[in-house]
Amino acid sequence: MKLIETPLNSNVNLETLYPNLMQHMFNNRKAIKLLKLYAYDRTKIIYADRFDTITLLLLNRQRKISHQEVDTIIHRLLKVDRQAVTVDVGYKKQILEAGMRPKESYKDIIAIEYQVPQQ
């Protein structure tokens, strides 16, 4: 399967596309240096680089995201092993417990966080 970068135009706002997810993900956090949107099969990936951490949010509306897909996405985007990142497979449950309702219904939402090593 291919990992495709979806071009973001300057007038596209991810907060408009994913209002509740972005509010929960970026609330009380540092500024974002780089924001990208990817697609891997039917999984949408939001890539957010915050200077000291890189956060990936994996969203799939049709099925659960497999362990192998998560590993492939980590290797292709972050170029590290799974042991170097924090994978939160219960992110969807956290969002629902916090009272946030995503705009669309998702079968699976996974958050991946990578601490960028200081040089």
pLDDT digits (tens, 9 = 90+) for 9-45: 655 666 667 766 776 676 666 777 888 899 999 999 9
What does the CA dihedral 11, 99, 74, 107 come to, rounded to 10 degrees?
-100
Fold held by 3-115: Streptococcus thermophilus LMG 18311 protein like (3.40.1720)
- pTM (2 decimals)? 0.86
**pLDDT of the residue at 13:** 66
Instruction: Give the whole-angstrom CA distance, residue 96 versus residue 83.
Output: 27
104 pLDDT tier (thresholds 50, 70, 90): confident
Domain boundaries, the chain: 3-115
pLDDT digits (tens, 9 = 90+) for 39-98: 999 999 999 888 899 999 999 999 999 999 999 999 999 999 999 999 999 988 988 888
User: What is the strand order of the sheet 43-49 is part of?
Assistant: 3-6, 34-40, 43-49, 53-60, 108-115, 86-88
Q: Is the confidence at residue 108, as pLDDT, over 90?
A: yes
**pLDDT of the residue at 61:** 93
